[in-house]
């Protein structure tokens, strides 16, 4: 929304109406299936779906990979929204995946160990969705997508995406309009692997990134170059799969 003031209430109401239209057209009576991580994006998507569909048509899936130190936040959100939820530990599936690769004499690397759990989580969401008659919510936002901070066919997948056109700052503003407590909106996002925050891994703040996306302004030349490089390198994640034009 360059050159415009962001109206969080209007956007929140528009998203709620959009979710209702999506389900009316693509599965009336279906439930929204959401991977609940405890972070702002999944929390806000869950709140939006509750407002759009009612709490009885929202199903949360918690998917720790072994031990998750902040899983209590996920359960707190589930209780706050009063939605049905289940926890499925993906660690045995991840281990079996790696063992199968080792059996094929394929060595693991950081790309494999970073992206595989995310893809297994998405496979699990679709399995749950098939059982509960659901549609899977994508919880990515524009800022993360812009620099490729997502896993292709992992958390970047889904059936409908309420936040894909919103920056991190805008997502938080919408969350406040949903009436969510600050703990679900302002929790510092971490990668769950290295103990580093998302901003540590990116090398710049979301505030800087959001301003660059919306206003085209980034005073630090090095940061601007890094954002541009990440955006170009990761465009394949957010563009339709190329197909041969027969």
Write the CA distances from 149 to 48, 104, 105, 163, integer angstroms: 23, 29, 29, 14
Q: Which sign, positive or negative, has the C-alpha torsion 229, 233, 239, 242? A: positive
- Residue 18 burial class via C-beta count within 10 angstroms: exposed 0-12, middle 13-18, buried 19 and up: middle
Q: How far apart are CA 19 and CA 139, in angstroms?
A: 13
Whole-number pLDDT of residue 3: 52
User: How does strand 31-35 pair with strand 84-87?
Assistant: unpaired
Whole-number pLDDT of residue 2: 46
Residues β-bridged to residue 134: 31
Q: How far apart are CA 210 and CA 208, in angstroms?
A: 6
Q: Which domains, from first to last, does the chain contain? A: 8-189 (3.40.50.620)
* pLDDT per residue rounded down to tens, the chain (246 residues): 445 789 999 999 999 999 999 999 999 999 999 999 999 999 999 999 999 999 999 999 999 999 998 999 999 999 999 999 999 999 999 999 999 999 999 999 999 999 999 999 999 999 999 999 999 999 999 999 999 999 999 999 999 999 999 999 999 999 999 999 999 999 887 655 556 788 988 999 999 999 999 999 999 999 999 999 999 999 999 999 999 999
Length of the chain: 246
Whole-number pLDDT of residue 144: 96
Whole-number pLDDT of residue 188: 81
Whole-number pLDDT of residue 52: 98
Strand positions, DSSP E, 20-136 = 31-35, 58-62, 84-87, 134-136
Whose CA is closest to 227, among 186, 199, 246, 196?
199
Residues β-bridged to residue 87: 62
Whole-number pLDDT of residue 189: 75
Instruction: Name the pTM for this structure.
Output: 0.95
């Amino acid at each position: 929304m360059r050159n415009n003031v962001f109206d969080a209430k209007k956007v929140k109401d528009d998203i709620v109406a959009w979710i209702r239209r999506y389900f009316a057209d693509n599965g009336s009576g279906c439930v929204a299936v959401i991977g609940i991580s405890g972070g702002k994006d999944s929390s806000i998507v869950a709140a939006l779906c509750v407002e759009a569909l009612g709490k009885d048509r929202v199903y949360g899936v918690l998917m720790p990979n072994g031990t998750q130190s902040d899983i209590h936040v996920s359960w707190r959100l589930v209780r706050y929204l009063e939605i049905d939820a289940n926890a499925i530990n993906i660690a045995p599936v991840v281990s079996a995946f790696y063992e199968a690769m080792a059996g094929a004499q394929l060595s693991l690397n950081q790309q494999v160990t970073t992206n595989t759990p995310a893809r297994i989580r998405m496979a699990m969401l679709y399995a749950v969705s098939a059982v509960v008659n659901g549609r899977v919510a994508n919880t990515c936002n524009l800022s993360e997508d812009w620099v490729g901070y997502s896993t292709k066919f992992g958390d970047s997948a889904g059936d409908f995406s309420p936040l894909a056109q919103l920056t991190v700052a805008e997502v938080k503003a919408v969350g406040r309009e949903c009436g969510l407590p600050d703990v679900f909106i302002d929790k510092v996002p971490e990668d769950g692997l290295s103990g580093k925050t998302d901003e540590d891994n990116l090398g710049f703040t979301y505030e800087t990134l959001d301003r660059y996306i919306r206003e085209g302004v980034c005073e630090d030349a090095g940061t601007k170059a890094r954002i541009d490089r990440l955006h170009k390198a990761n465009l394949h994640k957010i563009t339709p799969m190329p197909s041969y034009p027969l």
